[in-house]
Amino acid sequence: EAAVTQSPRNKVAVTGGKVTLSCNQTNNHNNMYWYRQDTGHGLRLIHYSYGAGSTEKGDIPDGYKASRPSQENFSLILELATPSQTSVYFCASGDAAYSYEQYFGPGTRLTVL
């Protein structure tokens, strides 16, 4: 089965600090995605990537950067974390060439104090 892992699983950060969330996939999928999940908002797309070296803005990119150094790894970076970024973050990989199915990681719970 497709495997997506995320680290850390839980993170507490201070306002104004830098946070990096990491994602690794062993599916050899070209596309990777970062979502955040908040009650009442479902899953909202932050950034995505079509392959190594590419990043694209999703629907809510403000305050976030992304990095895709390799096929397997995709990071989400909060340069100056704010309390409004407290959320659960999910990474996913997928191959949009066929059915758009996405495989999700277990999530990272981020709390910004």
Partner 1 sequence: QQKVQQSPESLIVPEGGMASLNCTFSDRNSQYFWWYRQHSGEGPKALMSIFSNGDKKEGRFTAHLNKASLYVSLHIKDSQPSDSALYFCAPNQGGRALIFGTGTTVSVSP
Q: Which residues bind partner 1 (CB under 8 A)?
A: 4, 31, 33, 35, 40-45, 48, 56, 58-59, 90, 92, 96, 99-107
For partner 1, the closer of residues 68 and 107 by Cβ is 107
Instruction: Supply the minimum distance, in Å, between the C-beta of residue 68 and partner 1.
Output: 15
71: left (phi over 0), alpha (psi -120 to 50) or beta: alpha
Token pair recorded at residue 55:
């990043």
Instruction: Supply the minimum distance, in Å, between the C-beta of residue 102 and partner 1.
Output: 6
Instruction: Supply the minimum distance, in Å, between the C-beta of residue 8 and partner 1.
Output: 15
Give the burial string for 52-61 (b: 16+ CB within 10 Å, else e): eeebeebeeb
